[in-house]
């Protein structure tokens, strides 16, 4: 099967049906390994055991931005090529991305209280991630409330592309402004600042969360394709009843 | 495993994550079975998509 064949929703559905159980099994296996390694990881010399929150917070933060990046590519597909599968991909990614952004904010807040002495501060990193969550909710509102799904999809795609400006702001906020949030300690020039005994469990958890994201995204895309089939069949039924 | 004096924060972070992920999984599973059921009902009533019709 050529890659271009996957642009056909029926062929895409057949592939998802085959791939999804394997992807789910691999996700569960990686989470099992990652969680065992995370629980065995040593405490941080400054933060103590609260460093264990990092194994949830950092992957969720990465995926909150990756989700928006994926939606931005899908938005281009919707607006430029008007491909229905691109719109399906964008719509299916929004709730998953919003959930990971929510996890990022809550776990960050629960990590901040014992580490910084506060649950929340309006610094550039925290505020820009909160803006990302609001953008996700805005896109979801456009998808879920538009009477005409086509217009809702185009409006959501425009908001997604406008909101993409926030992604570099989130990434570089800790460099551009003086923030309570620490600067990058993993993806940075000169290599990671984290000891391998903590870095490896973090990387395994990051891969597990990424697989979880794609498993949920593919499953949500399959549901959205089926939902559109239901809609078109109901329209056909109504037209036949009228005729 | 000793989670130290801030165990409540660590447990709460893991509990929230498990709750949200479980919610996402339940949403995709229940939505899938709902869409399959509706499609099955429509097909039983003889409703077909335009692409399934032989004369088109």
- B39/A contact by beta carbon, under 8 A: yes
Instruction: Search chain A and give the residue with CA nearest B3.
Output: A49
Q: How far is A171 from chain B (nearest CA, A)?
A: 22
Q: Who's near A84: CB < 8 A, 6+ residues apart? A: A9, A228
Residue with tokens 């697989």: A211
Q: Which two tokens stand for residue A222?
A: 């399959």
CA distance A93 to B6: 34
Question: Do you know the residue count of chain A?
Answer: 243
Q: Which two tokens stand for residue A21?
A: 């159980």
Mean pLDDT of B28-53: 87
Question: Which residues does chain B have within 8 Å of residue A240's beta carbon, measured at their own beta carbons?
Answer: 47
CA distance B6 to B17: 17
Mean pLDDT of A212-230: 96
Backbone φ and ψ for A21, nearest 5 degrees, come out as -60, -40
Model pLDDT, residue A47:
86
Helix, strand, coil shares of chain B, percent, nearest 5, are 80, 0, 20
Determine contact, residues A129/A61, Cβ cutoff 8 Å.
yes
**Sign of the Cα pseudo-torsion (A55, A61, A64, A70, in order):** negative
Question: Which residues does chain B have within 8 Å of residue A49's beta carbon, measured at their own beta carbons?
Answer: 2-4, 6-7, 10
Using alpha carbons, select from A219, A85, A154, A228 the residue that is nearest to residue B50.
Answer: A228
Q: Which two tokens stand for residue A191?
A: 């290599």
Predicted confidence (pLDDT) at residue A2 exceeds the cutoff of 70:
no
CA distance A49 to A26: 28
Model pLDDT, residue B56:
45
Instruction: Search chain B and give the residue with CA nearest A223.
Output: B32
pLDDT tens profile A20-54: 999 999 999 999 999 999 999 998 888 889 999 99
Average pLDDT, chain B: 88
Determine contact, residues A140/A94, Cβ cutoff 8 Å.
yes
Q: How far is B55 from chain A (nearest CA, A)?
A: 15
pTM of the model: 0.92
pLDDT tens profile A131-183: 999 999 999 999 999 888 889 999 999 999 999 999 999 999 998 888 888 88
Predicted confidence (pLDDT) at residue A121 exceeds the cutoff of 70:
yes
Q: Which residue in B5, B13, B31 is closest to A56 by CB distance?
A: B13
Check A48 against B12: CB less than 8 A apart. Answer: no
For A48, the 3-state DSSP assignment is strand
Check A236 against B38: CB less than 8 A apart. Answer: no
Check B49 against A220: CB less than 8 A apart. Answer: no
Q: What is the count of residue pairs from A and B with beta carbons less than 8 Å apart?
A: 96
For A71, the 3-state DSSP assignment is helix
pLDDT tens profile A72-93: 999 999 999 888 899 999 999 9
Backbone φ and ψ for A176, nearest 5 degrees, come out as -80, -30
CA distance A36 to B30: 30
Instruction: Search chain A and give the residue with CA nearest B36.
Output: A226
């Amino acid at each position: 099967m050529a890659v271009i064949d996957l642009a056909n929703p029926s062929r895409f559905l057949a592939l998802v049906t085959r791939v999804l159980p394997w992807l789910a099994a691999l996700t569960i296996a990686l989470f099992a390994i990652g969680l065992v390694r995370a629980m065995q990881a040593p405490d941080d010399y400054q933060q103590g055991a609260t460093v264990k929150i990092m194994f949830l917070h950092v992957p969720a933060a990465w995926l909150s931005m990756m989700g928006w990046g994926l939606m931005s590519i899908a938005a281009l597909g919707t607006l430029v090529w008007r491909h229905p599968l691109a719109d399906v991909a964008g719509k299916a990614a929004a709730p998953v991305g919003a959930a990971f952004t929510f996890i990022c904010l809550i776990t960050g807040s629960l990590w901040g209280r014992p580490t910084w002495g506060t649950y929340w501060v309006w610094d550039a990193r925290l505020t820009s991630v909160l803006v990302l969550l609001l953008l996700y909710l805005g896109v979801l509102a456009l998808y879920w409330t538009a009477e005409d799904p086509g217009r809702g999809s185009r409006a959501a795609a425009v908001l997604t592309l406008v909101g993409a400006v926030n992604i570099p702001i989130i990434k570089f906020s800790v460099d551009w402004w003086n923030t309570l949030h620490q600067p990058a300690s993993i993806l940075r020039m000169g290599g990671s600042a984290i000891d391998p005994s903590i870095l490896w469990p973090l990387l395994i958890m990051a891969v597990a969360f990424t697989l979880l994201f794609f498993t949920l995204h593919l499953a949500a895309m399959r549901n959205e394709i089926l939902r559109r089939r239901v809609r078109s069949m109901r329209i056909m039924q109504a037209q036949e009843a009228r005729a | 495993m000793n989670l130290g004096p801030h165990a409540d924060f660590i447990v709460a972070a893991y509990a929230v994550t498990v709750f949200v992920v479980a919610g996402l999984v339940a949403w995709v599973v229940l939505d899938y079975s709902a869409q399959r059921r509706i499609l099955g009902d429509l097909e039983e009533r003889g409703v077909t998509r335009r692409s399934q019709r032989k004369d088109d």
